[in-house]
Amino acid sequence: MEPWQEELIGLTAAALTTAAFVPQLIKILKTKETTGVSLTMYLVMFTGIVTWFIYGLLIESVAVIAANLVTGILQIGIIILKLKHR
Protein backbone atom coordinates (compact mmCIF):
# COMPACT_ATOMS: atom_id res chain seq x y z
CA MET A 1 0.00 0.00 0.00
CA GLU A 2 1.22 3.50 -0.92
CA PRO A 3 1.90 5.98 1.94
CA TRP A 4 -0.86 8.34 0.65
CA GLN A 5 -3.34 5.46 0.80
CA GLU A 6 -2.34 4.76 4.41
CA GLU A 7 -2.73 8.47 5.24
CA LEU A 8 -6.16 8.48 3.57
CA ILE A 9 -7.22 5.66 5.93
CA GLY A 10 -5.83 7.64 8.88
CA LEU A 11 -7.74 10.77 7.81
CA THR A 12 -10.94 8.71 7.38
CA ALA A 13 -10.46 7.36 10.92
CA ALA A 14 -9.94 10.91 12.27
CA ALA A 15 -13.04 12.18 10.42
CA LEU A 16 -15.18 9.33 11.84
CA THR A 17 -14.05 9.66 15.47
CA THR A 18 -14.54 13.45 15.24
CA ALA A 19 -17.95 13.29 13.51
CA ALA A 20 -19.18 10.72 16.07
CA PHE A 21 -19.78 13.47 18.66
CA VAL A 22 -22.18 15.36 16.34
CA PRO A 23 -25.18 12.96 16.83
CA GLN A 24 -24.60 13.09 20.63
CA LEU A 25 -24.62 16.89 20.60
CA ILE A 26 -27.75 17.00 18.37
CA LYS A 27 -29.53 14.42 20.58
CA ILE A 28 -28.98 16.55 23.72
CA LEU A 29 -29.93 19.78 21.90
CA LYS A 30 -33.21 18.17 20.75
CA THR A 31 -34.20 16.26 23.89
CA LYS A 32 -32.43 18.34 26.61
CA GLU A 33 -31.93 14.88 28.16
CA THR A 34 -28.48 14.00 29.54
CA THR A 35 -29.36 11.28 32.04
CA GLY A 36 -26.93 8.42 31.51
CA VAL A 37 -24.31 10.66 29.86
CA SER A 38 -21.15 10.58 31.99
CA LEU A 39 -19.72 14.05 32.76
CA THR A 40 -16.48 12.40 33.96
CA MET A 41 -16.11 10.77 30.53
CA TYR A 42 -16.31 14.13 28.75
CA LEU A 43 -13.98 15.87 31.21
CA VAL A 44 -11.31 13.14 30.84
CA MET A 45 -11.91 13.06 27.07
CA PHE A 46 -11.57 16.84 26.77
CA THR A 47 -8.27 16.75 28.71
CA GLY A 48 -7.11 14.03 26.28
CA ILE A 49 -8.21 16.05 23.25
CA VAL A 50 -6.28 19.12 24.49
CA THR A 51 -3.23 16.86 24.97
CA TRP A 52 -3.65 15.48 21.39
CA PHE A 53 -3.89 19.08 20.14
CA ILE A 54 -0.59 19.98 21.86
CA TYR A 55 0.97 16.81 20.41
CA GLY A 56 -0.29 17.85 16.96
CA LEU A 57 1.38 21.26 17.34
CA LEU A 58 4.64 19.61 18.48
CA ILE A 59 4.81 17.13 15.58
CA GLU A 60 3.37 19.79 13.20
CA SER A 61 0.58 17.50 11.98
CA VAL A 62 -2.25 19.49 10.41
CA ALA A 63 -4.55 16.41 10.55
CA VAL A 64 -4.03 15.91 14.30
CA ILE A 65 -4.41 19.65 15.02
CA ALA A 66 -7.57 20.03 12.89
CA ALA A 67 -9.31 16.84 14.08
CA ASN A 68 -8.73 17.65 17.76
CA LEU A 69 -9.69 21.31 17.36
CA VAL A 70 -13.09 20.29 15.95
CA THR A 71 -13.53 17.45 18.50
CA GLY A 72 -12.61 19.84 21.34
CA ILE A 73 -15.26 22.37 20.26
CA LEU A 74 -17.91 19.60 20.02
CA GLN A 75 -16.96 18.34 23.48
CA ILE A 76 -17.19 21.83 25.02
CA GLY A 77 -20.73 21.94 23.62
CA ILE A 78 -21.62 18.53 25.16
CA ILE A 79 -20.07 19.50 28.54
CA ILE A 80 -22.00 22.83 28.65
CA LEU A 81 -25.28 21.04 27.78
CA LYS A 82 -24.61 18.32 30.36
CA LEU A 83 -24.02 20.96 33.07
CA LYS A 84 -27.15 22.87 31.95
CA HIS A 85 -29.51 19.85 31.81
CA ARG A 86 -28.36 17.63 34.66
Q: Are 83 and 39 in contact (CB under 8 A)?
A: yes
The CB-side HSE value for 82 (13 A sphere, CA atoms) comes to: 17
Helix/strand/coil for 15: helix
Asked if residue 6 binds a copy of itself (CB under 8 A), the reply is yes
**Listed residue (51, 69, 59, 57) closest to 14, CA to CA:** 69
Selected from 29, 38, 73, 80, the binder of a copy of itself by CB under 8 A is: 38
Selected from 29, 47, 73, 84, the binder of a copy of itself by CB under 8 A is: 47
Our CB check for a copy of itself shows the closer of 45 and 69 to be 45
Give the amino acid at 6. Answer: E
The distance of closest approach from Cβ of residue 60 to a copy of itself in the complex, given in angstroms and rounded to an integer, is 10
Chain contacts with a copy of itself (rule: CB under 8 A)? 1, 6, 9-10, 12-24, 27-28, 31, 33-38, 40-42, 44-45, 47-49, 51-52, 54-55, 58-59
